[in-house]
């Protein structure tokens, strides 16, 4: 069974040994409760690196006090099986005190890209993400690190951080993995009851509608946002957090759809907040 280490010094010892043999290292940062979306990242990392580390850490500092840190799903045994079956070599599973010991005082904060989309309702979230990912990069020192495009804003932010802070790491974005009926895979889907699970399909339907409109030549962001919002509002259990059209690299809102575009949504289904998106180059 795959080895699990919880101390920074232990993951460093393993990775240093690999590096001394000239082996390349891929990192897949996760919060655990792994599903096929994570598995696709691990598969890609296994295909592109000699050794793969999966971090499993529910990062407390990316949750606001009113969010789901306490209830976030956890199942390390299942995670170990999935990592093992997928060919990963090491799980890094630290306790919060290992990552944030007493006296911890240094945070990575980013302007610009963190302010729109999820940053509006989760203003402290991306600072927590950047800080933990920066720490993971320094601990594991991977050659490549893998992130899902479902969290498109997070992916853009990590790419920016790597560029701004000169991390010598290639960031690999991987496609959204969906259930057979279209719902984007997410650890938070487990919060949905049967009725909410059906209602949650409105997200992927709205994404499909928006994507079809843009592919058919619509260039007015407002028209796309309105059509997608109207569709989401037709589902009684859905409440929109945002439907936005932004530049995929800068996450700045755009009026005219042209260039690298991200159309992103966040929708509450009951109490569960889900996200989805599509990216298009036009």
Backbone angle region of 176, left / alpha / beta, with phi > 0 → left and psi within -120 to 50 → alpha? beta
Q: Among all chains, which residue has been given the structure tokens 């699970």?
A: 197
Q: Of the two residues 73 and 209, which places its CB atom closer to ligand PAF in the complex?
A: 73
The number of angstroms, rounded, from the C-alpha of 268 to the middle of its chain's C-alpha atoms is 18
Q: Among all chains, which residue has been given the structure tokens 């280490």?
A: 5
Q: Of the two residues 133 and 152, which places its CB atom closer to ligand PAF in the complex?
A: 133
Q: How far apart, in whole angstroms, are the C-alpha atoms of residue 212 and residue 109?
A: 36
Query: Which tokens in the block code for residue 209?
Result: 């509608």
Q: Of the two residues 155 and 257, which places its CB atom closer to ligand PAF in the complex?
A: 155
Q: Which residues bind ligand PAF (CB under 6 A)?
A: 29-31, 59, 62, 129, 132-133, 151, 154
- Please, what is the minimum distance in Å from the beta carbon of residue 100 to ligand PAF? 13
- Please, what is the minimum distance in Å from the beta carbon of residue 53 to ligand PAF? 12
CA distances from 1 to 15, 121, 165, 266 (A): 18, 40, 36, 38
Contact 91, 5 (CB under 8 A): yes
Q: Among all chains, which residue has been given the structure tokens 């940053």?
A: 119
Half-sphere exposure of 74 (CA within 13 A, CB side): 11
Active site residue 38: yes
Q: Of the two residues 91 and 132, which places its CB atom closer to ligand PAF in the complex?
A: 132
- Please, what is the minimum distance in Å from the beta carbon of residue 229 to ligand PAF? 26
Query: Which tokens in the block code for residue 234?
Result: 């037709």
Catalytic residue among 38, 93, 107, 125: 38
- Please, what is the minimum distance in Å from the beta carbon of residue 59 to ligand PAF? 4
The set of catalytic residues is 38
């Amino acid at each position: 069974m795959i080895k699990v280490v919880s101390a920074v010094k232990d993951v460093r010892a393993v990775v240093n040994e690999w590096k001394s043999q000239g082996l390349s290292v891929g990192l897949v940062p996760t919060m655990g409760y792994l599903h096929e979306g994570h598995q696709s990242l691990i598969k890609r990392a296994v295909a592109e690196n000699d050794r793969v580390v999966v971090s499993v850490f529910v990062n407390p500092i990316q949750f606001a006090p009113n969010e789901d840190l306490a209830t976030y799903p956890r199942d390390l045994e299942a995670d170990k099986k999935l990592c093992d079956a997928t060919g990963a070599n090491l799980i890094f599973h630290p306790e919060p005190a290992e990552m944030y010991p007493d006296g911890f005082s240094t945070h990575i904060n980013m302007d610009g890209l963190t302010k729109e989309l999820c940053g509006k309702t989760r203003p402290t979230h991306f600072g927590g993400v950047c800080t933990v990912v920066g720490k993971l990069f320094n601990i594991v020192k991977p050659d490549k690190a893998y992130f899902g495009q479902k969290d498109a804003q997070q992916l853009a932010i990590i790419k920016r951080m790597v560029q701004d802070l000169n991390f010598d790491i290639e960031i690999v974005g991987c496609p959204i993995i969906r259930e057979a009926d279209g719902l984007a895979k997410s650890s938070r889907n487990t919060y949905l009851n049967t009725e909410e699970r059906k209602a949650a399909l409105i997200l992927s339907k709205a994404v499909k509608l928006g994507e079809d409109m843009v592919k058919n030549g619509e260039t007015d962001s407002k028209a796309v946002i309105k059509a997608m919002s109207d569709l989401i509002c037709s589902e009684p259990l859905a409440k929109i957090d945002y439907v936005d059209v932004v530049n995929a690299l800068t996450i700045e809102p755009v009026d005219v759809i042209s260039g690298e575009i991200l159309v992103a949504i966040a929708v509450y289904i009951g109490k569960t907040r889900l996200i989805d998106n599509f990216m298009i180059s036009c």
